[in-house]
Amino acid sequence: MDMVDRKDIPVFKMEPVLVLILGLVTCGLYLIYWNIKAAEVLNKVAGREVISPVVAVISGCCAPVHIYYYYLCGQCLPDLGALIGRPEIKDQSILLLILGIFFPMVAAMIVQGHINAIYAEK
Amino acid sequence: MRSTPRSNLASVHAAGDRGRHFVANRLLLLAMVGGIAVAARLFSTSLSGGVVLCPLHGLLGMPCPGCGLTRAFCCLAHGQFATAAGYNPLCFLVAGLGVAGAAISIAELFLRRRLTWYGFFFNGKLARALAAGVITFTLVRIAMLACSGELFSAYIRTSWTYRLLAGS
């Protein structure tokens, strides 16, 4: 039986508010780094390459690609939910896509919040 | 640390889910690229004085890595390559990747399977090198705008925060 171990997931834990602040203060440059790291974690959680790291970089430059990036992030959330024992976490692609259009920073904070749950001690 | 059997993940990945994502992702990508191309073709290339939509630019008056891409795409769609480069040279990279992505999506939808030859797009080192290039380009552009004085005048002209503070 294949095992998904939390130890294999890269550590990327930070306060969602900090993502917002750093994203604004660095004029979006921090978000390029954040996109890459979040993609790395979510791809590991999903066990397959859902989000291309190159798309993650370009999404920091181009709004439509950014929206598409959040759409892909939403597809990894059921895997994340299964990993942390919370099967109620469903595919949130559409929600994150809509948030990515109107409130992209909120979408980033939601994704970071879900990622933080991976490292929460029980 | 707790381990989770992949059988839990297997229950998530019913064959129907993956099939739906396979088609939906590619159709969304095609819709996005097509929509941008049509919109860029329809809009005039003489875009100036419009409302600032970028929250970063609106709040801080500073250009983000994608600042000018909208105008650049409009110029690209009208064949004005030099003008497009002036707005944001990254437009060529983003447009090229968009066209390539659309072509690959069409091929994969037609073949009903994922192609494997573009695996380098999932290379982390390539992404990091690209990120370093984009960040360097943005910092150099901000520095050049600051040295020329254009950064402050653009902030006064376009920033929401300045307009709010100035009461205009």
So what's the ipTM on this one? Answer: 0.83
Rounded Cα–Cα distance for residues B137 and B41 (Å): 27
Residue B114 has pLDDT above 50, yes or no: yes
Q: Does B34 touch chain A (CB under 8 A)?
A: no
Residue A40 has pLDDT above 60, yes or no: yes
Closest C-alpha to A65, from A34, A104, A94: A104
Residue B13 has pLDDT above 60, yes or no: no
Give the C-alpha distances (Å, rounded to integers) separating B131 from A35, A43, A71, B53, B135: 10, 18, 21, 24, 6
Longest dimension (CA), chain A: 46
Question: Which residues are registered as beta bridge partners of A4?
Answer: B4
Measure the CA angle with vertex B98, ends B95 and B99; round to 5°.
90
Q: Does B49 touch chain A (CB under 8 A)?
A: no
Partner-chain contact B121 A52, CB within 8 Å: yes
Partner-chain contact B65 A7, CB within 8 Å: no
What pLDDT does residue A13 have?
94
CB atoms closer than 10 angstroms to residue A121: 4
What percent of chain A clears pLDDT 90, i.e. is strictly above it? 66
What pLDDT does residue B113 have?
86
Considering CB atoms only, which of A1, A29, A78 is closest to B135? A29
What pLDDT does residue B167 have?
65
Segment B47-90, tens digit of pLDDT: 555 666 676 777 777 778 888 888 899 999 999 999 999 889 99
**The whole model's pTM is what?**
0.84
Partner-chain contact A24 B29, CB within 8 Å: no
